[in-house]
Structure 1
């Protein structure tokens, strides 16, 4: 069963917005992959200033239009709570400012990631009760999560962001596997600056 962190709020409104532009999608992907790359290389510290372990299997994320559509359908209600009864991961963010898609991507991603230094107080990579308290961070750094899709909506209270993820935050599983960076990339991927990215050469061969 997927577990999520909920920031309590009760906001309902009328929304105006569209699916993300190409630059908006790129902004969300870049922000997530930059943070994932940083922890995979061992460049991050937790709340106690302990160095977080490097990751052997951190996938490079790609964009998923189906996850985006689900995020968009939910975000349009301007209801700041998680979608009920879903089988995928989800992070929420709200700002009182009217943000561009690109600014929303950075502010949302950076605020979720900040749970590492504000809340996460262990160098363990196990997703347990302690990690659950920093669930936005753990969702962003879930190594086996390959795809994501987001929505940015303008509501009267400001900007509402919903990001959906194919998987993540599974109780009892590891956020990522600790060890030398990229030393255990899944089959069909190869190391690309700290992240396990789909091997385009193998992908092209399969299409022939």
Structure 2
């Protein structure tokens, strides 16, 4: 449970937060602009609301792409210890592999290679072997779960409650707070739905990789 909560509230996992923030402020501006101009043209509404939504869409795409990581098996490593530590293996298996690679490096050095060349060669040989043995369903990319989006939804929900309290007790007619509340409601709902869309994207990416 604690592990799950840590993932949910690891808010720093989000990418391009500045773009998301710009989208949110743009949306609030659109609401205020609509309030101040009751006779606003349809074109201007399309520009303001459409701009905010387009900005949010671009953020969602960039955030998804920014979360994708190269599978540890295929990453370049210049240290045997760091490479072995990055692999999803049991502790005993890691120890055996570490010993094997160190012995292999010593053999390569005895044959005239420098330490750096020997390390790269040893890791490269192991990567090739694992690449040939790995399941075809284990792709080049790691597609992480996006728990942090639920964390942001919870934070936004808390902010909505605070704003509602302010509207009820202190600023009952303050449109700016109402605009922020409405924006937060929409974005909180989007953060709940976005992981589902990301999962759909994950399925499409995996199908593309194994096709």
Give the shorter-chain TM-score range. Answer: under 0.3
| TM-score, normalised via structure 1 length | 0.21
* Larger fraction in helix: 2
Higher relative contact order (CA 8 A, sep 6+): 1
| TM-score, normalised via structure 2 length | 0.21
Larger-Rg structure: 2
